[in-house]
Structure 1
Amino acid sequence: MNSFGLAGRISPWLGNLSFIREIDLGNNHLEGQIPEELGQLRRLQVLNLTWNLLEGSIPEALGRCTRLSYLNLGMNHLQGQILQSLANLSSIKLLDLGNNTFSGAFPSYLDKLPHISLVSFEFNNLSGVIPPSFWNISTLIGFSMAGNMLVGTIPPNAFNNLPLLRVSYMNVNQFHGHIQASLGNTSDLWKIQLNENFFSGTVPPEVGKLKRLQHLVLSGNSLDANEPIDWKFITSLTNCSQLQFLLLDSLYREYNTISGSIPKGIGSIPAEIFDIHTLSPILDLSYNKLEGSMPEKIGNLNTLVELHLESNMLSGEIPAALGDCQVLQNLYLENNFFGGSIPFTLSKIKGLEILDLSSNNFSGHIPEFLGNLSSLYYLNLSFNNFAGELPTFGIFANGTALSIQGNEALCGGIPYLHLPTCSSEWRKKRRRLPVIPIVIPLVATLGMLLLLYFFLTWHKKKSVENLSTGSIQCHRLISYSQLVKATDGLSTTNLLGTGTFGSVFKGTLEGRSGEPATIIAVKVLKLQTPGALKSFEAECEAMRNLQHRNLVKIITSCSSIDSKGDDFKAIVFDFMPNGSLEDWLHPGPSNQLEQRRLNLHQTVSIILDAACALDYLHWHGVAPIVHCDLKPSNVLLDTDMVAHVGDFGLARILADGSSSFQPSTSTMGFRGTIGYAPPEYGVGNMVSIHGDIYSYGVLILEMVTGRRPTDNEVEHGLSLRNYVEMAIDNRVMDIINMELVTEIENENARVDGAPTRKRLVLVSLLKLGILCTEETPSTRMSTKDIIKELHEIKKALG
């Protein structure tokens, strides 16, 4: 009766069916405890209760079912310790208790089970060390102890007595010490994950003896590579002719002092890795300290789907051979020192979906062939040295899918990007100019520009110190009368919303010289409110140089006198036709969105959009900017439901703009909104980028649960985070937004596992929200890690 949609409790009367040999109630909605009476079924051989809502502990009597060979209680809400009585299951072959909340020590009796071959205790709360006897279970084919709190080291001879082992998952624990060379003795091993632990030392080259190895995941450890010989394991992996999945991202933590070669010059990508022709679908070497160039041999990986080389120190040009990876879908090269032009051979990768080349030294024209890649839906070329005319078709016609800021010599493009108009005559002249005669003038010009830069920097500092109302000019100004006309006299019928420092109106701005009218949003400041003027100044200063697909775009500003002779100040933004996230999460009685709700795909996309906005603010601007008030009402949705973060009235530009990878802070009065502001803002009033991450985490939890952080219904005296933490292990579906629950319950296509995937995605989002709302600021996730995790979640959702 697997996947029959059964609900309710398991009847204790099942214990009277003494003849029964198999019970399969997996993938249903059964709740309550496992009946003690099942222990009466002495002929029972198979008990499958996975993917239900069962709670409580394993009944002691279950140990009397000595003929049981298959016991699967995974994916429930079971708790307590793993009982000693299970040691009586002398016929057991498969024991799966994973994805529950069992606690206590790792069972010490597994070696007493003569037929045990598959064991899973993954994602529980087990602690302590692995008993030495575990490594003597010669019948083991696979085991998973991932996602617990296990500690200790792996014994040197741990893998000598596991001749049948094929799968080993030890990831996401607290193991330390060395990865043992005896690993190479498990000749049948094809999957091993040791990531997210504290392993140190070098990777033993003996891994190259694993001829059947397909998956090797070592990321997120503290491994060393101080000598060329330490990288011998990479060369040895060329013997693993079936290797498909290699993850070495974040292999080397900040506190290591990695230098040297891999193996041809310390830090370079070893060409040998690209001789592993079967490697697919993912190669992840991101967040290491790799240097040198990308080898031409990368073209050998013709089944590669996803390549991560971001956040290293790689340089040189993209090899033309990369175009031979014709099934490549996602290419991440950002935050390196790559240069030159984008090779035309990339045009052969017809299925490319994501291309991120941001924060490098690429130059030249942006090639038009990128616009012909019909599958490309995200292109980030920001912060390079591209020049010339930007195409206007394909991906270039979608301003929200394209990021090109930080390339000062670009022109043309669609109006949405607000680039200067290209001068065809200038381009012709530039092509005719000889190089040598302009060298000396160019040097002189650069010298003048350098002096001008220092003067302007000094002047800017002085002007910020003496900022006055009249000095605020974010963009070209617009007159008071134009705004009054655009908003029909600031009519209440055009009122979109009211905040502490201002009201927002919808308006229609007439075009110039036959251009079409523009629908706008006008934020009119309440200058009589204390702090409103500072809010206006802060927003103008923060938005002055910002341009990102996930930030609300400022069109212009108005600093004038109204019809009564009073000061009038307003900021004009792009109008967002789908309103704010607040409207969708908590529609009011007069709101027209009552019948419209966010589905799970939209929820994940909006969460990702907001993360991209914060990542840009914190790390990719002239100076780090802290938003200080991220909440649903400040996240606006355009026609395509792309999220744009707005309202920078409380934003703070951090002083140390040059230290872009070191969290800068600034003291000030309390900022933010109760429920979204982090706890440290109320104690010591320290403002930092970590505070935005906290607000972002609350935003995630609110979107998934449908509850405001200040709701009385959350729980008596509990924060939204505490409320989620208490429910995530045992009753997660009880706290999910009912619209999302209904979406899962209405999902009938269980054949492809859609309901299961969606349920796991919801849990992953809640866990992400919890990690972002840690009490200690420094332990909260970084935007880079958040974005990476969300891409994985989005991929899992399908």
Structure 2
Amino acid sequence: MAYAKKIFRPGFFISVLLLMHFTAPASAATNETDRQALLDIKHLITQDPFQVFNSWNNSVHFCNWPGVACSNLHQRVTVLNISSLKLVGPLSPSVGNLSFLHNLSIQDNSFLGEIPQEIGKLFRLEYFLSANNSFEGEFPVNLTRCILLQFIDLRGNSLSGKIPDELSTLSRLRVLKLPRNNFSGKIPPSLGNLSSLEYLALNKNSLEGNVPIELGKLSKLYYLALSSNTLSGIFPSEIFNISSLQTLSITNNTLSGHFPANLGVNLPKLTTLLAGINQFSGSIPASLANASGLTEISIGNNSLTGPIPRSLGSLQELRLLHLGHNPLGTDISFITSLSNCTSLQLLSLSSTQIGGVLPNSIVNLSATLEYLWLNDNYISGSLPEGIDYYLNLAFLDLSMNSLTSNLPNSIGQLTNLQEVHLYENKFSGKIPPSFGNITNLQILILEDNLLDGSIPVSLGNCSNLQGLHLAKNQLTGFLPREVILSSLTIGLILAQNQLTGSLPSEMGTLKSLVTLNIGENKFSGGIPDSLGDCLMLEELNMEGNSFAGTIPSSLGNLKSTQIINLSRNNLSGIIPASLRNLSLMENLNLSFNMLEGEVPTGGVFNNLGKFSVHGNQKLCGGIKSLNLSVCPSFPKKQGQHSVQVVIILAITVPLFIILLIASIYAKWPVKSSKHPLRANSTDENPYPRISYREVFQSTCGFSVENLIGEGRYGCVYKGVLSPREQHVAVKVLKLQERGANKSFLAECEAIRNLRHRNLVKIISTCSSIDLEGNDFKALVYGFMPKGSLETWLHRVSPEHDDLKKLNVHLRLNIAIDVALALDYLHHHSKTPIIHCDLKPSNILLDDDLCAHLSDFGLAKFLSTPESTSNGSSIGFGGTIGYIAPEYGMGGSVSTQGDMYSFGIVLLELFTGKRPTNSMFTENFSLHYYVKTSLPNLVMEIVDPDMLMTEENGQNMTDQASDGSKMRIEEFLVRVLRMGVVCSSELPDERMDSRDVIRELQAIKETFQETKEKRMRRRYESIA
């Protein structure tokens, strides 16, 4: 009471009132400072898809704006939370004026540029959450002036440089998250002074050197993640003494040392131990069982030795046990002790040198088991029937052991199995037909066993099957047609069996198959012509069979193929010249057949190290180094002359009559006109002309139903030319448009001598008069049944709503096709040509989704490949969004201009966004959008339809468990970075078409590795 009386003395009360009076205006002023700071933040945002900032206006007080919270007393901003709104733009330095801010949360957006140093003015700041943005530059050192900070989260940005020592001044800091950046240098030992630190994550950077001993002083630490750096040296034993530690993740470094024997005693709260892919040695501590809450133990890929402690079986919460790739050398019987681990989902003992007979107790492990990897060991015995207990099993790998007996029929009840690897064992008997019940099966590898009998027809029921490897067994019978009609993409490998019969004619349905190896069997009959439809095929091996007949010329369509082995068969006839078009071919083996005639030259046939034709006695010609005889000129035999004369007359007389009638018909006037047919430069056009009547009839009178496209200078109609019923595309010029006639002449001139598989093929031209007596000009092309790339990317009308099949592989092939076309125009045509109008609507797709570049109406010629055209680009047409920026300033037309357009098309191809999308403004383009999103946000900017079509319709963004997301993310980053470079503002910074092709081919080779190889890498990425 006495204290209360002191406080409320009249003089004291008056003083308080005076203080409030004089501070009120200042408070009002600082309120306005907060409002203006918020508006500054708003004005720098270039994208606000949820239109949150529309509510930041004068109609309501700023304290009521979405994401803003203020103190009740002074109405000052204390919380700014604008997370997960997909905002794009830099963070305004005015954020430093929010001087009462306690919590700044801007994570899961696309903020870019550097974090403003003005953030150091926020001396009341406690939480700074900026994860998963696109910030660049170094760590904002001024942030360490905010001495009240407790929580810093900068995960998933592009920050670089060193981690500053000044962080050690933040005595209240509890959480420091810096993963997935580009930080380099050493871990500052001064971090050991952060006595309040509970959570330290520095994983997935480029940190090097030793792990500081000083980190052992962090007595409150419960989470430590240093994985995926280049740290080295002995891991400090002091850290193993932090009793509060729950998660220790140091995998994927080159750390060494021993795990202390009392590890589980010193770390009783440990739940996660991830230390794989290092250089630890010694034994696995039996004391780990003392940490009863352990859920994950991943210490594979080290140099640990046995035995494996049986006490691990007491860890009832254990979900993951990965000990693979250590020389443990123990007996497999220990696996019985794991029966009590009732939560176990993954068990990996790959390459651990364990041996002994596989115990029946293997079927007593947890019913929740999903991954069982015991491969590359010395395990014997048989696989028990009780294996069907594991109904959740998705991956089973017992390969490279000494297992015997028959494969259990009960394995067919494991309907969730995705991959089965049982190769290099001694399994015998027949392949159980029950495998056909495993509808989720993607990979089945049974090669190098003693299996006999036929290939089960039921395997055709495995609609998701991508790889079937049955080589090196004793299989007999035919190759079931049903298997061919499945979804095989990775490989069909049946080599070294005793299979018979002919190949099914449906082989061409395997359009995405990468490897076909049926060598060393007893197959007969002809090579199906439909094999030429397997456009993704990289290896074709049919050696050592009894195939007869000729080599189909359609094999020349296998543009991705690197190996073809048809040796030791009974093939006859000539070598198709089309095989020389296989630009990626590394090994073409046609030896020991009965081939005859001239060996082609050009392409692969010009490099003796890449093809072989030994053992074909009737071959001649070819390159000199083959040392074959010169092909004979076949002199006439006596009596043969008269026969040839009869044959020539029989052919030429009817042909002459037909040509005479055709010429009369072509000159027959459609309608009288005062305009005679005018001569122009196209008279030298090597393509046959057709009449207006033929064009008119082929398009059903230019009917609207046949209209398939329209541009500035012309309309394109589909048509059918008589008498061969040839499907064509007819481009009718709009001669009333200024420049249309020039476009027609330019296109005729440009395509006069062009011959390339990725350029649209011209069939004929028409320069005549129409029914009204007006000039008429048209170009007739081969019809592209799959339309333009634009319709596939953007489904421009309801009829295209089903076009959702452009997966990653197909888009990459299209990009390669377009690059090859540009490379031909720029470097291999008689006179270098600049296309000048590259865009998705000018990229047409045939039945096999092979891309063909079209529309040369704006094409320009260069005098030499390195030069630019004579003329300026002022007045140049082109298409907005795809035109190189230098053209807009009157710069000369050049190959670099085409490469700019290619870069934009590449970005559009993989993001699904047009460069003219409304989200792109004058200062924010498709190029900048992609550039600022790489590498961390790549999965957020790519076309979701593309990801949904990958891996049999599964969304790749959800598949992190087996590393798929990581692989596709790395692949897409490489592709999009190429698009960013090609679309650079400065021409000299862009890539040349030759470099683009090399890089795209390298990316393709990397991405299309077989799933079997990917599986092996999963062992190293579990943690």
TM-score by length of 2: 0.46
Paired residue secondary structure (2:313)? helix
Q: Which ranges in structure 2 are unaligned for 5 or more consecutive residues?
A: 1-105, 508-517, 526-565, 590-597, 617-625, 636-753, 761-787, 794-804, 814-845, 851-901, 904-928, 948-954, 975-1005
The more displaced of 3-12 and 319-328 is: 319-328
RMSD across aligned C-alpha pairs, in angstroms? 4.9
Which string of whole-angstrom CA distances, capped at 9 and with x for unpartnered residues, describes residues 499-555 of structure 1? 999999xxxxxxxxxxxxxxxxx97147999974x76546779xxxxxxxxxxxxxx
2:420 and 2:149 mapped to 1: Cα distance?
Answer: 51
How far 1:184 sits from its partner (Å)? 1.3
Counterpart of 1:13 (choices 93, 118, 122) is 118
Correspondence 1:186-201 to 2 at 5 A: 186-201=291-306
Matched, 1:496 2:581: yes
Correspondence 1:40-59 to 2 at 5 A: 40-59=145-164
Matched, 1:237 2:444: no
Instruction: Check conservation: 1:396, 1:402, Cα contact below 8 A.
Output: no
Instruction: Check conservation: 2:301, 2:1020, Cα contact below 8 A.
Output: no
1:495 and 1:529 mapped to 2: Cα distance?
Answer: 6
User: What is the one-letter code of the residue matched to 1:93?
Assistant: E
User: What is the one-letter code of the residue matched to 2:397?
Assistant: H
1:498 and 1:746 mapped to 2: Cα distance?
Answer: 30
Q: Which residue does the alignment assign to 2:257? A: 152
Instruction: Check conservation: 2:115, 2:135, Cα contact below 8 A.
Output: yes
Matched, 1:343 2:432: yes
User: What is the one-letter code of the residue matched to 2:339?
Assistant: T
Instruction: Check conservation: 2:371, 2:396, Cα contact below 8 A.
Output: yes
How far 1:189 sits from its partner (Å)? 0.4
1:232 and 1:537 mapped to 2: Cα distance?
Answer: 53
Q: Residues 145, 497 of structure 1: CA spacing in aligned structure 2 closer, same or farther, 3 A cutoff?
A: closer
Q: Residues 323, 475 of structure 1: CA spacing in aligned structure 2 closer, same or farther, 3 A cutoff?
A: closer
Matched, 1:760 2:966: yes
The more displaced of 374-383 and 174-183 is: 374-383
Which string of whole-angstrom CA distances, capped at 9 and with x for unpartnered residues, describes residues 364-395 of structure 1? 12222112222323222222111123321244
How far 1:141 sits from its partner (Å)? 1.0
Q: Residues 538, 605 of structure 1: CA spacing in aligned structure 2 closer, same or farther, 3 A cutoff?
A: farther
Q: Which residue does the alignment assign to 1:687? A: none
2:469 and 2:394 mapped to 1: Cα distance?
Answer: 18
How far 1:185 sits from its partner (Å)? 1.0
1:325 and 1:68 mapped to 2: Cα distance?
Answer: 50
Matched, 1:271 2:360: yes
2:1011 and 2:288 mapped to 1: Cα distance?
Answer: 33
2:971 and 2:275 mapped to 1: Cα distance?
Answer: 23
- Structure with bigger gyration radius: 2
Matched, 1:524 2:609: no
2:464 and 2:957 mapped to 1: Cα distance?
Answer: 26
User: What is the one-letter code of the residue matched to 1:204?
Assistant: P
How far 1:748 sits from its partner (Å)? 7.2
1:56 and 1:364 mapped to 2: Cα distance?
Answer: 63
Correspondence 1:504-653 to 2 at 5 A: 524-525=600-601, 532=608, 536-537=611-612, 562=631, 564=633, 592=758, 601-602=808-809
Correspondence 1:213-232 to 2 at 5 A: 213-225=318-330, 230-232=331-333
1:528 and 1:159 mapped to 2: Cα distance?
Answer: 63
How far 1:144 sits from its partner (Å)? 0.4
Q: Which residue does the alignment assign to 2:415? A: 326
Matched, 1:61 2:132: no
Q: Which residue does the alignment assign to 1:286? A: 375
Paired residue secondary structure (2:195)? coil
Paired residue secondary structure (2:294)? coil
Which string of whole-angstrom CA distances, capped at 9 and with x for unpartnered residues, describes residues 668-727 of structure 1? xxxxxxxxxxxxxxxxxxxxxxxxxxxxxxxxxxxxxx99xxxxxxxxxxxxxxxxxxxx
Counterpart of 2:403 (choices 293, 311, 314) is 314
Counterpart of 2:1014 (choices 786, 789, 796) is 789
Q: Residues 591, 222 of structure 1: CA spacing in aligned structure 2 closer, same or farther, 3 A cutoff?
A: same
User: What is the one-letter code of the residue matched to 1:496?
Assistant: N
Matched, 1:72 2:177: yes
Paired residue secondary structure (1:56)? strand
The more displaced of 380-389 and 408-417 is: 408-417
How far 1:785 sits from its partner (Å)? 10
1:791 and 1:536 mapped to 2: Cα distance?
Answer: 32
Instruction: Check conservation: 1:525, 1:536, Cα contact below 8 A.
Output: no
1:173 and 1:743 mapped to 2: Cα distance?
Answer: 29
Instruction: Check conservation: 2:604, 2:611, Cα contact below 8 A.
Output: no
User: What is the one-letter code of the residue matched to 2:415?
Assistant: Q
Paired residue secondary structure (1:151)? strand
Matched, 1:3 2:3: no
Q: Which residue does the alignment assign to 2:388? A: 299
2:294 and 2:124 mapped to 1: Cα distance?
Answer: 39
Paired residue secondary structure (1:371)? helix
User: What is the one-letter code of the residue matched to 1:760?
Assistant: M
The more displaced of 186-195 and 393-402 is: 393-402
Paired residue secondary structure (1:175)? strand
How far 1:112 sits from its partner (Å)? 2.3
Higher normalized contact order (CA 8 Å, seq sep 6+, divided by chain length): 1
Paired residue secondary structure (1:152)? strand
Paired residue secondary structure (2:282)? strand
How far 1:175 sits from its partner (Å)? 0.5
Instruction: Check conservation: 2:588, 2:611, Cα contact below 8 A.
Output: no
How far 1:201 sits from its partner (Å)? 2.3
Paired residue secondary structure (1:159)? helix
User: What is the one-letter code of the residue matched to 2:212?
Assistant: P
The more displaced of 367-376 and 178-187 is: 367-376
Which string of whole-angstrom CA distances, capped at 9 and with x for unpartnered residues, describes residues 579-611 of structure 1? xxxxxxxxx9967279989998429999xxxxx
How far 1:784 sits from its partner (Å)? 11
Q: Which residue does the alignment assign to 1:372? A: 461
User: What is the one-letter code of the residue matched to 1:46?
Assistant: F
Paired residue secondary structure (1:163)? coil
2:939 and 2:125 mapped to 1: Cα distance?
Answer: 36
Q: How many residues get paired?
A: 537
Q: Which residue does the alignment assign to 1:698? A: none
How far 1:747 sits from its partner (Å)? 5.0
2:568 and 2:208 mapped to 1: Cα distance?
Answer: 57
Q: Which residue does the alignment assign to 1:426? A: none
Q: Residues 601, 795 of structure 1: CA spacing in aligned structure 2 closer, same or farther, 3 A cutoff?
A: farther
2:166 and 2:381 mapped to 1: Cα distance?
Answer: 62
Matched, 1:249 2:350: yes
Instruction: Check conservation: 2:132, 2:937, Cα contact below 8 A.
Output: no
1:336 and 1:604 mapped to 2: Cα distance?
Answer: 39
How far 1:352 sits from its partner (Å)? 1.8
Instruction: Check conservation: 2:580, 2:600, Cα contact below 8 A.
Output: no
2:455 and 2:272 mapped to 1: Cα distance?
Answer: 46
Q: Which residue does the alignment assign to 2:287? A: 182
Which string of whole-angstrom CA distances, capped at 9 and with x for unpartnered residues, describes residues 174-220 of structure 1? 00111111111111001010100000121111111211111000001
User: What is the one-letter code of the residue matched to 2:455?
Assistant: I
1:345 and 1:303 mapped to 2: Cα distance?
Answer: 17
Q: Which ranges in structure 1 are unaligned for 5 or more consecutive residues?
A: 253-257, 259-265, 423-471, 505-521, 542-556, 567-587, 607-637, 643-705, 708-732, 769-780
Matched, 1:171 2:378: no
Paired residue secondary structure (1:182)? helix
Matched, 1:411 2:490: no
2:587 and 2:397 mapped to 1: Cα distance?
Answer: 44
How far 1:41 sits from its partner (Å)? 0.9
How far 1:138 sits from its partner (Å)? 1.1
The more displaced of 745-754 and 338-347 is: 745-754
How far 1:130 sits from its partner (Å)? 2.2
2:108 and 2:807 mapped to 1: Cα distance?
Answer: 22
Instruction: Check conservation: 2:332, 2:357, Cα contact below 8 A.
Output: no
Paired residue secondary structure (1:311)? coil
Instruction: Check conservation: 1:145, 1:169, Cα contact below 8 A.
Output: yes
Instruction: Check conservation: 2:433, 2:459, Cα contact below 8 A.
Output: no
